[in-house]
């Protein structure tokens, strides 16, 4: 009887989960097996043809490679900076409270606003970045940071790291608060230096927290859309086009609902695979700690 009452209480949450996660995923997979272009009145079942075409679509491959590069560079940078800021926040130094408030400002700014802000910073004509670099003679002429194939992706990564490193710092800082001070005091008595305390006490104890932050940031980075769409729209020449931007263009610009859904489903399964790797490593770590 008790188990039945628990199920009744869980039903609303399960129904909501089904409506906002499972149903859209199943419907997206169903659309991915169709050639559906309402503008031309095309709607036919084609099975797995869209998913097979993904394997030889050069634009999809380029967007996948761009997404991977963006994720593999931005996430480690955010974790390293977040760890550094978290360690700094843990120290009892003057102005620590002000540093905490200042650190949260980039995270509090809406992504669209920060994207426009960085777009102005990178502007080749009146952007402050070119002005500063030319003032110290590091540049002879202005650089089109968001229009040059070499600098577009690094410029976007810098903007993303600035925006999201505080998120990593906040979670890692919360993890640092759980480490007893007695461990550090004992290590100091035994003659352990700052680096020894970091590598033999701090990092092993907050390793699960870092993995959890890595899961969140990997999922966010892999499905990055708003920052890139506002700053470059995927250009120049689709160099900064990620999978989510490509799927958006297919779905809402060219109205290829079938193939766009196939790209979205493929992106979902890649994110699920990456998250599964994180969860497996995290599970093994907790198993060892227990």
For the chain, 290 residues long, give each residue's pLDDT as a single digit of tens: 556 777 778 888 888 888 888 888 889 899 999 998 887 888 898 989 999 999 999 999 999 999 999 999 999 999 999 999 999 888 877 777 788 888 889 999 999 999 999 999 999 988 999 999 999 988 888 899 999 899 999 999 999 999 999 999 999 999 999 888 888 888 888 888 888 888 888 888 898 899 889 989 999 999 999 999 999 999 898 999 999 999 999 999 989 999 999 999 999 999 889 888 888 887 776 665 54
CATH topology of domain 57-289: MetI-like fold (1.10.3720)
d(CA 45, CA 36): 8
| Cβ atoms of 143 and 122 closer than 8 Å | no
d(CA 210, CA 207): 5
Q: What is the pLDDT of residue 132?
A: 93
* Domain positions in the chain: 57-289
Q: What is the pLDDT of residue 101?
A: 84
Q: What is the pLDDT of residue 267?
A: 93
Q: What is the pLDDT of residue 287?
A: 61
Residue 118 CA to chain centroid, in angstroms?
A: 18
| Cβ atoms of 237 and 152 closer than 8 Å | no
Q: What is the pLDDT of residue 144?
A: 93
Q: HSE (CB half, 13 Å, CA atoms) of 124?
A: 11
Q: What is the pLDDT of residue 286?
A: 65
């Amino acid at each position: 009887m008790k188990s039945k009452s628990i199920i009744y209480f869980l039903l609303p949450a399960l129904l909501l989960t089904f409506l906002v996660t499972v149903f859209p995923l199943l419907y997206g997979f169903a659309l991915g097996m169709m050639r559906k272009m309402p503008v031309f009145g095309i709607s036919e079942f084609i099975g797995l043809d869209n998913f097979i075409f993904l394997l030889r679509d050069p634009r999809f491959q380029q967007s996948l490679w761009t997404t991977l590069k963006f994720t593999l560079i931005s996430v480690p940078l955010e974790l390293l900076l977040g760890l550094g800021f978290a360690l700094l926040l843990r120290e009892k130094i003057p102005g620590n409270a002000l540093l905490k408030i200042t650190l949260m400002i980039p995270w509090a700014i809406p992504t669209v606003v920060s994207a426009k802000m960085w777009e102005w910073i990178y502007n080749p004509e009146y952007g402050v970045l070119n002005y500063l670099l030319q003032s110290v003679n590091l540049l002879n002429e202005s650089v089109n940071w968001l229009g040059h194939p070499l600098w577009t992706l690094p410029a976007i990564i810098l903007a993303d790291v600035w925006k999201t490193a505080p998120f990593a710092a906040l979670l890692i800082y919360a993890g640092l608060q759980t480490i007893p001070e007695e461990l550090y005091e004992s290590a100091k008595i035994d003659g352990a230096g700052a680096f020894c305390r970091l590598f033999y006490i701090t990092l092993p104890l907050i390793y699960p927290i870092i993995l959890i932050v890595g899961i969140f940031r990997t999922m966010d980075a892999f499905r990055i859309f708003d920052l890139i769409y506002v700053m470059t729209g995927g250009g120049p020449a689709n160099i900064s086009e990620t999978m989510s931007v490509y799927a958006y263009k297919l779905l809402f610009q060219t109205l290829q609902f079938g193939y766009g859904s196939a790209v979205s489903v493929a992106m979902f399964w890649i994110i699920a695979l990456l998250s599964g790797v994180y969860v497996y490593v995290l599970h093994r770590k907790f198993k060892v700690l227990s």
